[in-house]
Structure 1
Amino acid sequence: MSANKKDLRAYLQDNLLIGDGAMATQLYRTGVPVGVSFEELCLSNPQFVHDVHKAYYDAGARLLETNTFGANRDALSRYGLEHKVTRINRAAVAIAREAAKADAFVVGSIGSILAGRVRQKAMDEFRDQFEEQAIALIHAGVDGLILETFLDVEELLLAIDVIRPLTDQPLICQLATLEVGRTRDGYTLTEAFSLLQKAGADIVGLNCRLGPAEILRSYERVQVPEGALLSAFPNAGRLGLTDGEYAYKSSPEYFAESAKRLREQGVRLLGGCCGTTPEHVKAMADALHGLAPQVRVNPSETENERPSLSSYNVRDRQKPSIVERVKTGTTIIVEFDPPKDLDTEGFLQGCCELHKAGADSITLADNSLANVRMSNMALGAIMKSQYGMDPLIHIACRDRNLIGQQSHLMGLHALGIDQVLVVTGDPSRFGDLPGASSVFDVTSFDLIRMVKQLNEGISFSGRPLKQKAQFIVGAAFNPNVRQIDAAIKRLEKKVEAGADFIMTQPVYDAEAIRLVYESTKHINIPVFIGIMPLTSQRNAEFLHNEVPGIKLSDEALARMRKVQGEEARQEGIKMAKELLDAAIPIFNGIYLITPFNYYAMSVELIQYVRQKSSLLQASAQA
């Protein structure tokens, strides 16, 4: 691509433009240790920074961001470098210019000063810092400024208010959302983009936090203001721990396909954020080579109506635990996520349908993926007391210290909720409140032991509790790893700690189901095999490329590529039934995971399991 250096805005009217990828990822790969100021390298080791810029340019990037994301006074003060703001920013521009050729734009990167922290006071004090950094970048000769990774619209508006009077150069303004379609401070993307454009943003978009699939979903729902140019710099999926290493999952090939889809949404400036590499950038550049931008077409706005819960009347009854039930026949656990808002009607309606269909227990996650949801203890109490359902409550090590954990468990005991699943929990910094602390006082092994200690009538501190709890404790197992033997050893440690049953991550081929069976058949506690139906091609690709702990077969991906809409969901159900055909003869425990709260899909699968199990039982008795 040949860039018209006169003006970035004019260039984007008629052309697609490829931006660069993550600076920190590449610096880390070259040996720069974590814990240093990457921005200070512009002074102490400029060749490192130059080489990263050059690698992205050679890969096809024609918009390079300066290595100044955290080159503000607040961030640099953590390293005692607050007096070097101007020097670092000016040096960063010179390095990028030297690495880029004449056909590339160089834009000055300005990051959020809040940087994910919870706002505790007024942001007016940030004005001087934004001004200081922007002036240094503008005077050093950038082609525009990119204000990126702002979780709060209000902070980004403040930055624009400070910077717009300083220059008429292009402003690229990118938010980082924690969930699809809404910012941390409560604005919809439609509202946010409109406010940013009115404030003086030339290009609006999203970067960081979300991978390609979720950014694409965001753009499919948003009303982009007329005349606004659109950008997208997604992460390389979600950062997760696999085989003992933290890594981003999305491949360059996946980024190439995602770039085409983002182009269809009217995105004209495409790059990468955390975890992306020159290989990701090259894949996007090759995929879009020779293509013109597409005109943005906003979606129509629709509202979903929800039927009343009043028609549901579920009989209250006492049930044996799932561990007791699984000994006598096929037992079904269904996961159904608590709501992210204060409206419980739709959630309880779904629970009622699942219960009526024959779910033995409904399991509620504990703020999965570190995203805030309604208390699973409160919802479990409503389900049990008002509707006679049997909840299974997840307990994450992440959110509560030992005081909170024991108090929480004592509360569950008082409510008569005695089935729990102990999980580690995803780190808070990857959720929708990244400024929150991750507690992790104990590991999942430790917490399993401590829950079983309550069953002996002894508190975490060793004090007698006058009564014994009766918790049935589950442990999680991820079979979607390269080294299954290591995963089994970890699982055996959970069994030694006192786990009563096991629930696996979803698996997506019959061979994997048989592998789980062969690998766990020596363990003398029930194993509930995880099955989660796919809903679309994009859902399949998102799970495979972006979600840690989930791996799809080539066949599953290929089948979902052939269908769309309702036909795709039906294909997802069909594939899940095929997996159940392989699982039911060898597993008495079935763990169905409801995707996107589509409880009708789980209802159909519950009914299928019941029918299939009955046929097998009748055949065995004949």
Structure 2
Amino acid sequence: MARYRDALPQLGEATFLTDGGLETTLIFHQGVELPHFASFVLLETEEGRQRLRRYYEPYLTLARERGLGFVLDSPTWRANPDWGARLGYDAEGLRRINMAGIALLHALRDEWETPQTPCVVSGVVGPRGDGYRPGRIAIGEAERYHAPQIAAFAEAGADMVGAFTLTELHEATGIARAAAAQGLPCALSFTVETNGRLVSGPSLREAVEAVDAETGGSPAYYMVNCAHPTHFEQALAAGEGWVGRLRGIRANASAKSHAELDESTTLDDGDPRDLGRRYRALRQRFPGLRLLGGCCGTDERHVRAICEACVAA
């Protein structure tokens, strides 16, 4: 059952960790075939579920070693109607697989949580379309589209919703409204291009302020993911109120653009120590950044380097 739905612990002063690039780790480091970049298909078999457990365990080990909290994000970024249909999933199949993703995280929490390492179960939502290309969708349509997945998370006992790689304001707003309708706190994470702006045009400030205005500030917090720190560090401004709504970072290992990454057949895993130093610099400027993890190209090496750079031993 949900444990932290009414009081997310990562909203306090403590630092929390999360994982790295799930899909890129499975594909490039483990040789796993993920059709349409969909890791949720692994939930269908015991072998796949064990592989997912082994993926999360090094990150949970690090969090326990350092006495830090952890946000467990489900492998359901692609488990929505458009992508599910390409893989043969109807509405009931998606409900079942989304609930299975939360069940896996509950089992991990039962094994790994300690008083010093609270583990928050987060149901992950991805964009309706491609994460690197914006799709036009009305707010009401987005709310209706994402509602069944979020309802499945609520039924399965998730603590919250985490929506990642968002590029379009109406879709982000619809997700926030769908989460609020289910009584689930949500975190919205935008991705930006090398110029620090969403591919659909708005700046991070405009995105956060627009969604807050449309939803009455219902998202618990915001994040940035699937972009290198060099792409967004200049888009942040110390002293501006909206930056206080940013709570976490899940950056890419590579400084390449989305277009370059999309066309790449090899993994650019960057420099873990350099990435850690960049996180530390951001934390020094913006101490409210409390949730630290990685995105494409990152693995436990990167998250460990980030932890070592940002958190006292």
TM-score normalised by the chain length of structure 2: 0.81
Structure 1 contact 215–232 (Cα < 8 Å) conserved: no
2:270 alignment partner, SS class: coil
1:79 aligns with one of 77, 87, 94: 87
Q: Which has the larger radius of gyration?
A: 1
Structure 1 contact 8–105 (Cα < 8 Å) conserved: no
Letter in 1 for 2:54: D
Corresponding residue of 1:59: 62
2:107 aligns with one of 71, 77, 98: 98
Q: 1:123 to 1:204 in 2, by over 3 A?
A: closer
2:235 alignment partner, SS class: helix
1:232 alignment partner, SS class: strand
Corresponding residue of 2:295: 273
Letter in 2 for 1:255: L
Shift of 1:118: 4.9
Matches within 5 A, 1:210-289: 210-220=227-237, 223-225=240-242, 228-238=245-255, 246-264=266-284, 265-266=286-287, 267-289=289-311
Matches within 5 A, 1:422-433: none
Structure 1 contact 112–149 (Cα < 8 Å) conserved: yes
In the alignment, the residues of structure 2 paired with residue 132 and residue 268 of structure 1 have an alpha-carbon distance, to the nearest angstrom, of 30
In the alignment, the residues of structure 2 paired with residue 127 and residue 156 of structure 1 have an alpha-carbon distance, to the nearest angstrom, of 9
Shift of 1:238: 3.5
Corresponding residue of 1:43: 44
1:270 alignment partner, SS class: strand
Q: 1:260 to 1:82 in 2, by over 3 A?
A: same
Corresponding residue of 2:66: none
| Gapped regions of structure 2 (runs ≥ 5) | 64-68
**Quick check: 1:70 aligned with 2:70?**
no
Letter in 1 for 2:270: S
Shift of 1:26: 2.1
Corresponding residue of 1:132: 148
Structure 1 contact 256–284 (Cα < 8 Å) conserved: yes
Shift of 1:93: 1.0
Matches within 5 A, 1:200-599: 200-208=218-226, 210-220=227-237, 223-225=240-242, 228-238=245-255, 246-264=266-284, 265-266=286-287, 267-290=289-312
In the alignment, the residues of structure 1 paired with residue 198 and residue 279 of structure 2 have an alpha-carbon distance, to the nearest angstrom, of 23
Letter in 2 for 1:35: P
Deviation per CA, 1:406-461: give whole Å up to 9, x if none.
Answer: xxxxxxxxxxxxxxxxxxxxxxxxxxxxxxxxxxxxxxxxxxxxxxxxxxxxxxxx
**Quick check: 1:21 aligned with 2:24?**
no
| Gapped regions of structure 1 (runs ≥ 5) | 292-622
Q: 1:90 to 1:34 in 2, by over 3 A?
A: closer
Deviation per CA, 1:357-397: give whole Å up to 9, x if none.
Answer: xxxxxxxxxxxxxxxxxxxxxxxxxxxxxxxxxxxxxxxxx
2:175 alignment partner, SS class: helix
Corresponding residue of 2:31: 31
Q: 1:232 to 1:224 in 2, by over 3 A?
A: farther
Shift of 1:162: 2.2
1:163 aligns with one of 179, 186, 190: 179
Letter in 1 for 2:168: D
In the alignment, the residues of structure 2 paired with residue 234 and residue 220 of structure 1 have an alpha-carbon distance, to the nearest angstrom, of 18
1:172 aligns with one of 162, 187, 194: 187
TM-score normalised by the chain length of structure 1: 0.43
Shift of 1:185: 2.8
Structure 1 contact 59–279 (Cα < 8 Å) conserved: no
